[in-house]
Amino acid sequence: MADKPNTDGTPAPTPDQEVRRLYDEAENRVAKAAERVVSRDSFGELLAMVTENAVALTRIGNEAMDLVLRNLRVASRQDLNRLTRALGRTEDKLELVLQEVESLREEIGTASSKNGTSGGSGTRKRTTRRSSS
């Protein structure tokens, strides 16, 4: 093909040059067609609808996943945080009750020692351990 000259006397293009020319021509045509499509108002409306649908599908997926987790009765992070706070409050209350019991035992012990009775039975002091959670 490169051996035969064109009708105007210039040498015929090589296959590589011909492919490049056809590629550039196709690229120009596609670019012009894309510009025509994008310049229309209907393209903007279509893009807005697609975006709305994508957001809606994401929301539906998230809600479905929440329902699955809720039906499986898997604890969420909120549930764990709420339980941690409730456990902390309960531990604090129990600590106060234990301190009050110990102070009452001490009062009974001092009162019984003043009266001369033996206060050694059941008056040992308890210590508590706080969990580190």
Q: Distances from the Cα of 118 to the Cαs of 3, 7, 82, 103, 111, in angstroms?
A: 127, 131, 47, 18, 10
Q: How far apart are CA 87 and CA 93, in angstroms?
A: 10
Please give the full DSSP string across 27-38, using - where no structure is assigned.
HHHHHHHHHHHH
Q: Is 120's pLDDT higher than 70?
A: no
User: What's the pLDDT at 11?
Assistant: 83
pLDDT-based confidence at 91, cuts 50/70/90?
very high
pLDDT, tens digit, 9 for 90 and up, residues 22-76: 999 999 999 999 999 889 989 999 999 999 999 999 999 999 998 998 899 888 8
SS3 116: coil
